[in-house]
Amino acid sequence: MTALEKYQRIEATGLWRPDADTQRREVIVSIGDATLVITDSQERPLTHWSLAAIERANPGETPAIYHPDGDPDEVLELPDTESEMISAIEKLRQAVGRGRAKPGRLRLMILGFVVLTMGLLGTLWLPGAMLRHTVRVVPEVKRQDLGARLLTHAERLTGQTCAAPGTAAVLDHLATRVQLAGHGARQIVVMRAGLSETVMLPGQILLISRRLIEEYEDPAVVAGFVLAELTRSAQVDPLAQLLDQSGFTDTLRLLTTGTLPQDTLAGYAETVLANPRSPVPDQALLQAFGQAQIPAAPYAYALDVSGEATLPLIEADPLRGQTAPVILQDAEWVRLQEICDAE
C-alpha cells in the first residue's frame, strides 16, 4: 500500500489505442486505486486497467508495450523517457503477481505428490505384495521342480549326496515320524559336506548334514534338528526366502513364466548352504516338540553341550521324565549312520 501511494503521485505520457482498427493517440497515464488510469489531454478518463490484469508484450524492450490480460488489441506504449512510470508498473505487476493464486503451481504440487506416492508404492509396497502373491499361487509341482534344481546346484558345491542300500526307506520313515500339522518333509537328503545343520528347499526337500547322524548316538538329535527346520519353514516359506533374495524381477518372471534362471538358483544354493540358519523362538520349538512327541533335551545339548545357552528347552522339555515314542528302530539308525560310507 505504501508503494501504491508513492506511485499514485507520478504521471507519464504515452500512446494508446482501444483496438487494432483505431489509430493511436497521445494519452496521460497515472496510477489510481489498484488501476492504471488512462486519460486524454483534457484529463477525461478513457479507460481503467486493473493492475492485476496488465501484461507486457515486450519484456525488457522499449518502448514498453502493455495490454490488458486477454485483450492484446488494446495497447499502451510508454517511451523510454518515461522510465519512472515503466519501473512503477513493473514493480506493481510483480507485487500483484506474488500475491496472485498460482493454479499451475498447485497442479504441479498435486502431480508431484501423486508421482511420489506412486513411487513409494512401487518401491515399498509392490515388491512385497508381488512376492506374497507369487508364493500363494505357485503350485506344488513347480515348487518341487525348483527344489530339485536347487538340490542339483547344491551338489555341485558339496559333492554328491549320501546314499546307501536301504537308507531311502529309513529317511522316509524319519520324515513320516517327524512332522508338524500341515508341515513335513517330502524328501530328506543327507549332504556329504558343505552344510552344518539343515536347510529346507521349496517342494519340501529337507537337506541335513551328515554330522547330525554320525556324531550322535541318539536319533532324537537329528529328529530335533529336522523338527526345528520344519518349524522355521512354517514361519517363513522356503519359496519366499528364495524370492526375497532373487528380487522383484525374478519374482515377476516366476509368476509369469513359471521358472527362474539357473544363475539365480545357483546363487541362492550357495548362499543358503553357507549362511547360518535363523533362530527359532523357544516357545515355538517347545510346542513343536510336544506335538511331534520328540524330546527336546537331546537337541538342546547338541546345540550347546553345556546346556547353559539352551536351558529353557531342557527345563521345559515336554517329554521330560517320560518315555518318548520310538523315532527309529535300532537297525534303522545303524543303517542310517552308515549312509555316507559308500563312495
Question: Model confidence over 84-95: pLDDT tens digits?
Answer: 888 888 888 787
Full-prediction pTM beyond 0.75?
no
Give the pairing of strands 187-191 and 205-209: parallel
E-state strands within the chain:
11-17, 25-31, 35-39, 45-50, 54-56, 64-68, 75-78, 187-191, 198-201, 205-209
- pLDDT at position 257: 87
Which tops the pLDDT comparison, 244 or 3? 244
Residue 176, burial from CB neighbour count under 10 angstroms (0-12, 13-18, 19+): exposed
- pLDDT at position 248: 84
Please give the mean pLDDT across all residues of the chain.
87
When pLDDT is averaged across residues 25-45 and rounded to a whole number, the result is: 86
Q: What percent of the chain has pLDDT over 90?
A: 53
Cell of 74: 488494446
For residue 12, pLDDT over 80 is answered with yes
Question: Model confidence over 99-150: pLDDT tens digits?
Answer: 555 555 666 667 666 656 555 455 544 567 888 888 888 999 999 999 999 9
How far apart are the C-alpha atoms of 194 and 171, rounded to whole Å? 20
Residue range 2-99 in CATH 2.30.29.30: yes
For residue 189, pLDDT over 70 is answered with yes
SS3 percent helix, strand, coil of the chain, rounded to 5, is 50, 15, 35
Domain map (residue ranges) of the chain: 2-99, 102-137, 139-337
